Amino acid sequence: MKLPYRWLQELVAVPDGVDAVAAKLGLRGFEVASVEQGAEPVIDFDITANRPDCLSVLGLAREASAAYALPLRQPDRSMPAAGPAPSLEVSLEEADLCPRYCAHAFEVLALGGSPEWMRVRLEAAGVRSINAVVDVTNYVMLEMGQPTHAFDLARLRSGALVIRRARSGERMRTLDGIERALEPDMLVIADGERAQAVGGVMGGAESEIGAGTRVMVLESACFKPASVRRTSKRLGLKTEASTRFERGADINAAPAAIARAAALFDQIGAARPLGGLIDRYPKPQPPIRLRLRGDRIARVLGVSVADGDVPAILGPLGFEVRTTPDAVHSAATERSEAPAFRAPSITARTPDAPRPSPFALPTWDVTVPTFRVDVLREIDLIEEIARHDGYVGLPATFPRLTAPQPPPDPRTLRDRTIKQVLIASGLSEAMTFAFVERAAALPFARETDPAALANPLSEKYAVLRPSLLPGLIDAAAYNRRRERRDVRLFETGARFTRDGENRAVAAVWSGAAAIPHWSGGARGVDFYDVKGVVETLCRTLAVEIAFEPASRPYFVDGRAAEVIVRRKADAAGAARGARPVDSGVSRKIAGEVGQITASALEARGFPANEDVFAFELDVDAIAALQPSGDVRAESLPRFPSVVRDLSILVDAVLPAASVRGTIRSSAPPTLVHIVEFDRYRGKGVPEDRVSLSLRMTFRSPERTLTDAEVDDGMERIVAALASAHNAVRR
Amino acid sequence: MDISSLKQQFTAELAAAASEAELRALRDKYLARKGGLVSALLKHVASAPADVRPALGRQANELKQHIDAQVGERLAEASARRPAADAVDVTLPGRDPLIGHRHPLTLLRDRIESFFLRQGFLIVEGPELEDDYHNFEALNMPAEHPARDMQDTLYLASPVTSATGTPATLLRTHTSGMQVRYMERYPPPVRLIAPGRVYRRDNLDLTHTPMFTQVEGLVVGDDVTLADLKGTLVAFAHDLFGPDRGTRFRPSFFPYTEPSAELDITCASCGGSGCAMCKQTGWVEVLGSGMVHPAVFEAVGYDPERYTGFAFGVGIERLALLKWGVEDIRLFYENDLRFLEQFPL
Ligand SMILES: [Zn+2]
């Protein structure tokens, strides 16, 4: 809302310059978008949706009059002498959508330009001058916030105005020249036959006033906000009128705006009234009366307001304030009538002072002016009290803590742990949008038709991501295009299917396995780097995992695995690594790890000949398998362990997990740990075989093991490996 | 050669000796058991007349000790200067361990959470897919409410199953839905923050992204006031921007709070004197807040006569722009490692 400073001054004699006025109103809840200096200074306010009354010079002037404790001068609304009434029939058929409809006929005397003072003001407020009649209607709208519309009476069939719903299939050309299809829930102002205006939105071209207009009908109505908003949205037509009506208009502004227009027409000699005011107002609305309790003000704001301050604050804003007869006054708050416009003061409650007593404070009976459509209950009055000094007088206190808090959400803690592990593993955290291009999503979606947005910003953000990987691959490609070869990124967050959302964590890794160093040893990332991160993460989250070969459209064949997660059967036993968990324990496929295919990389602009490895895990699935309760500390081994290395030749395609399984099932219970420490193919090893070296640790919790019994155990292991896998000891 | 001239000759030769090898050769030249000049002198002393022999012997021994000490000292110095054969070049770069970076938004979120945890707040998390009731209606924004324009919404093409029971129809425009769910489930007192990703149909520009991160707060009790809100938010601003930052608490409007307030801090680029960054006002807006509207309490079944409460909401990206001078909000979602790595771990 552009407020021309001189126009404001005409209504309130503000003593400050334009900047100071802007700052003062800014602190009362009217955010200043900009201040234009110059010959016609203008303050542009961002008016919040609750204050349609301040989409007007008068509304802002009222605020200024309250802020400066200066009187508000009301513009002239005296009705000039009227000529004889023409034939005009107004029937209001839809009082639900239009609670009040006023109209008045005017004889057009001169449709030329309006006087310079008016043109200057309109232009300062951002409105183009058209002709004397249109300028007056715009002037009234800017000044009072009440839109009006002028019809050419001669073009209204049967000299009638009918306020009704549009008929099915009805069409109308609006003032902007566009032919519009109307729908039956839209309100129109029609003549005897056809719609001549869309109520509260825009007038029609057919009955527009022009050079030939002799008699016009000025409409000034109050339309129902929700109806105007729906119609304006449906027609894609947002006007000065619809903006005001959809926020709520003053029911009493309808006749007042006609009187103001009449006075202005008279002042500039543009038109003279004919007949009397036609006012269709079937259900007059009494003004809202509210009870305002002094103790409630103190309870909400945390400060006591002196009794006399309530009328002093609310009065200038147009509220009628009466102290109710049953109000209880304490001796301390009893005082003589506050002088008008005395600057109110708010008293801070000191933190250790008792909260204000509810019995010492009075109650007021407040009548809400009809232009304040936002004030509906007591709390709205309390806001008026609070904002009068821009909250400057409000003390800064703290809410009391009166109860212990429930335990934190485990998801918050888990996410934090996951981030810590991955950052410590060398991955940096990325954040990507939750919506992606359909083509980018499809390969990763389990369903053929992933959850999509109805109104996406663009095709680039059309569907909800079914996986975090497309976003991460795009982020890696973005970095790769900017000379960054070594990209290690992860993200935690929601992914979506038509069955809802799910928390996941995913990562991509390209380039080097470690930070390059002058000492050499450079190596590109491989499957086991990424697998190691997954293992570390799952170990931290205290779940058992296993990997099985898998096939995915976006992973290179033979270089992808499913991550199978199981609950730890026995935390203590699992920590010793002694026994695999029972197969009966619940297990879930909780994710995957693999190398992204060249075609998937190329599709997202990453060089196809480079290796990118990735993983993604379902955090919710893992969470469901995490142990509850505390870790049990285990006593440390009291007897020494015996370590034995074993090198065997086995088939190159035999999974290491099978070898480990055979060893575990044939070994004595004293075997506590197995780890592969070498895998070799090449010279000295037959073509289809591989040399696998394992290190085994034996230990008893009760005694020191003898070489003989460990040897015996090793022999049984070797025999089992030979029979199960045709393994040959090297 | 007499003893004093021998000593002079040694002194000169010692000064000239540069390397450890030369020093050792010098010691041998004078002190070697066979052929050393001082050894020869001592032999000569044995054959000297008896009356001068004791004095001569003492002087020769003193010279021997002098030479031994002097050469020893120089050798020690030289050896201290000499690098060990397996010495490292301490100036070469070390081997960096692999370590990643927290995203700056996480860094700031952790910081914000830590502030509110210190004030006794609980952190709650909720779904990103919401239904209209929890996102709007329960928050005093019925259908056709003009304030819905303040939050242009991204809707789902078709409803999606949600963990909460009711089918989700939109991407949440704020985390307030979580507060509504919490109040539906638990009686007062409430003291929580709800951080998370939120979505609005905003085109990407310097200050907008269609997804951003929000932290909302809610405190409800018998006795919670607007002054409490002011105190909490001013403390928060000082925690984040330093105790010297000017703060301003000013009336505003949100449908779900009444009275509503915005918190401003003094503009960092001009220090409060006014510049383009702050539209010449000297102030920049930090967050929106207010006293919970009684209609919200009614929607969740709290007695608005008995309880009062405050709520606030802040965009972490906006705080990051203000705190770190980031000029383009899109940088947070481009994931350029050169940007991400600028922030502390
Ligand atoms: Zn500035």
How much is the pTM? 0.85
Between vectors from CA A39 to CA A34 and to CA A44, what angle results, nearest 5°? Answer: 20
Cβ neighbours of residue A491 closer than 8 Å, sequence gap 6 or more: A429, A430, A431, A432, A468, A471, A472, A505, A506, A507
Q: Is pLDDT of A351 > 50?
A: no
Please state, rounded to an integer, the average pLDDT across all residues of chain A.
89
- Give the Cα separation of B343 and A608 in Å (integer): 31
| Spacing, Cα A384 to ligand 1 middle (Å) | 30
Smallest CA-to-CA distance from A495 within B222, B248, B72, B160 is with: B160
Q: Is pLDDT of A319 > 50?
A: yes
Q: Which pLDDT value is given to residue A24? A: 92
Please give the average per-residue pLDDT across A113-125, as a whole number.
93
Confidence of residue A634 (pLDDT cuts 50, 70, 90): confident
Q: Is B226 on the interface with A (CB under 8 A)?
A: yes
Q: Which pLDDT value is given to residue A703? A: 93
Pick A395 or B162 by higher pLDDT: A395
Q: Which two tokens stand for residue B286?
A: 């930090």
| Parts of chain B belonging to CATH 3.30.930.10 | 104-340
pLDDT single digits (tens) A55-112: 999 999 999 999 999 999 999 999 999 899 899 999 999 999 999 999 999 999 988 8
CB contact under 8 Å between B230 and A394, yes or no, is yes
Pick A691 or A577 by higher pLDDT: A691
Which parts of chain B register pLDDT below 70? Answer: 1, 146-147, 149-151
Nearest-by-CA chain B residue for A232: B144
| Spacing, Cα A36 to ligand 1 middle (Å) | 17
Smallest CA-to-CA distance from A492 within B109, B271, B220, B262 is with: B109
- Check: CB of residue B72 under 8 Å from CB of residue B24: no
- Give the Cα separation of A364 and A345 in Å (integer): 18
| Spacing, Cα B271 to ligand 1 middle (Å) | 6
Window 258-317 of B: residues touching A by CB (8 A cutoff) are 258-261, 279-281, 291, 293-294, 308, 310
Q: Tokens 């409630």 appear where?
A: A296
* Amino acid identity, position A666: S
Q: Closest CB to A422: pick one of B100, B121, B125.
A: B100
DSSP A410: H
| Spacing, Cα A17 to ligand 1 middle (Å) | 21
Q: Closest CB to B155: pick one of A399, A433, A454.
A: A454
Please give the average per-residue pLDDT across A636-647, as a whole number.
94
Determine the distance in angstroms separating the CA of A525 from the nearest CA of chain B, rounded to an integer: 12
Q: Is pLDDT of A330 > 50?
A: no
Longest CA span, chain B:
131
Determine the distance in angstroms separating the CA of B25 from the nearest CA of chain A, rounded to an integer: 40
CA dihedral A56, A57, A60, A65 (to 10 degrees): -140
| Spacing, Cα A20 to ligand 1 middle (Å) | 17
Window 12-51 of B: residues touching A by CB (8 A cutoff) are none
- Give the Cα separation of B293 and B274 in Å (integer): 34
- Give the Cα separation of B341 and B339 in Å (integer): 6
Q: Which two tokens stand for residue A327?
A: 């109000």
* Amino acid identity, position A704: T
Q: How many CB atoms lie within 10 A of CB A673?
A: 14
Residue B253: list chain A partners with CB under 8 A.
29, 48-51
Q: How many CB atoms lie within 10 A of CB B46?
A: 9
CB contact under 8 Å between B227 and A397, yes or no, is yes
Confidence of residue A359 (pLDDT cuts 50, 70, 90): low
Q: Which two tokens stand for residue B257?
A: 């709070």
- Give the Cα separation of A192 and A352 in Å (integer): 72
Residue A286 falls in which region: left (phi positive, over 0), alpha (psi -120 to 50) or beta: beta
Per the DSSP assignment, residues forming a β-bridge with B250 are: B262
Between helices A294-301 and A378-387, what is the axis angle to 10°? 60
| Spacing, Cα B265 to ligand 1 middle (Å) | 10
Between helices A18-26 and A57-68, what is the axis angle to 10°? 90
pLDDT single digits (tens) A678-708: 999 988 899 899 999 999 999 999 999 999 9
pLDDT single digits (tens) A502-533: 999 999 999 999 998 999 888 999 999 999 99
Q: Backbone phi, then psi, for B204, in 5-degree steps?
A: -70, 125
Q: Encode burial over A126-160: b for 16+ CB neighbours within 10 A, e otherwise.
A: ebebebbbbbbbbbbbbbbbbbbbbbbbebbeebb
Give me the sign of the Cα torsion angle A394, A396, A400, A401.
positive
> Percent of chain A having pLDDT more than 70?
93
Q: Closest CB to A399: pick one of B155, B224, B281.
A: B224
Q: Which pLDDT value is given to residue A340? A: 41
Between vectors from CA B244 to CA B239 and to CA B246, what angle results, nearest 5°? Answer: 95
Three-state secondary-structure class, residue A378: helix
Q: What is the CATH number of domain B104-340?
A: 3.30.930.10
| Spacing, Cα A290 to ligand 1 middle (Å) | 42
| Spacing, Cα B284 to ligand 1 middle (Å) | 8
Q: Closest CB to A431: pick one of B219, B224, B335.
A: B335
Window 180-209 of B: residues touching A by CB (8 A cutoff) are 186, 189, 191, 197, 199, 201-204, 209
Q: Which pLDDT value is given to residue B335? A: 96
Determine the distance in angstroms separating the CA of B20 from the nearest CA of chain A, rounded to an integer: 33
Q: Is pLDDT of A571 > 70?
A: no
pLDDT single digits (tens) A182-215: 999 999 999 989 999 999 999 998 999 988 899 9
Smallest CA-to-CA distance from A436 within A391, A483, A494, A380 is with: A494
Q: Closest CB to B101: pick one of A35, A300, A429.
A: A429
Q: Which pLDDT value is given to residue B263? A: 95
DSSP A287: P
- Check: CB of residue A481 under 8 Å from CB of residue A610: no
Residue B281: list chain A partners with CB under 8 A.
23, 26, 32
Q: How far is CA A254 from CA A99, A149, A222, A228, A517, in A?
A: 11, 11, 6, 16, 81
Q: Which two tokens stand for residue A575?
A: 């920590």
Q: Which pLDDT value is given to residue A353? A: 47
DSSP A214: S
Smallest CA-to-CA distance from A431 within B105, B98, B194 is with: B105
Q: Which pLDDT value is given to residue A350? A: 47
Smallest CA-to-CA distance from A579 within A648, A668, A676, A659 is with: A668
CB contact under 8 Å between A405 and B122, yes or no, is yes
Three-state secondary-structure class, residue A642: strand
- Give the Cα separation of A372 and A320 in Å (integer): 12
HEC secondary structure over A337-377: CCCCCCCCCEEECCCCCCCCCCCCCCEEEEECCCCCCCCCC
Q: Which pLDDT value is given to residue A576? A: 46
- Give the Cα separation of A588 and A581 in Å (integer): 14
pLDDT single digits (tens) A12-43: 999 999 999 999 999 999 999 999 998 899 99
Q: How far is CA B286 from CA A52, A222, A610, B240, B241, in A?
A: 25, 37, 44, 11, 11
- Give the Cα separation of A313 and A67 in Å (integer): 9
- Give the Cα separation of B248 and B37 in Å (integer): 93
Determine the distance in angstroms separating the CA of A513 from the nearest CA of chain B, rounded to an integer: 9
Cβ neighbours of residue A614 closer than 8 Å, sequence gap 6 or more: A469, A472, A473, A506, A507, A508, A509, A530, A593, A594, A595, A596
Smallest CA-to-CA distance from A289 within A320, A246, A262, A264 is with: A320
Q: Tokens 């149909």 appear where?
A: B201
Q: Is pLDDT of A338 > 50?
A: no
- Check: CB of residue A558 under 8 Å from CB of residue A535: no
pLDDT single digits (tens) A710-725: 999 999 999 999 999 9
Nearest-by-CA chain B residue for A403: B189
Q: Closest CB to A454: pick one of B100, B156, B202.
A: B156
Residue B303: list chain A partners with CB under 8 A.
none
Q: Which pLDDT value is given to residue B151? A: 64
Q: Is pLDDT of A331 > 60?
A: no
Smallest CA-to-CA distance from A445 within A472, A418, A468 is with: A468
- Check: CB of residue A170 under 8 Å from CB of residue A114: no
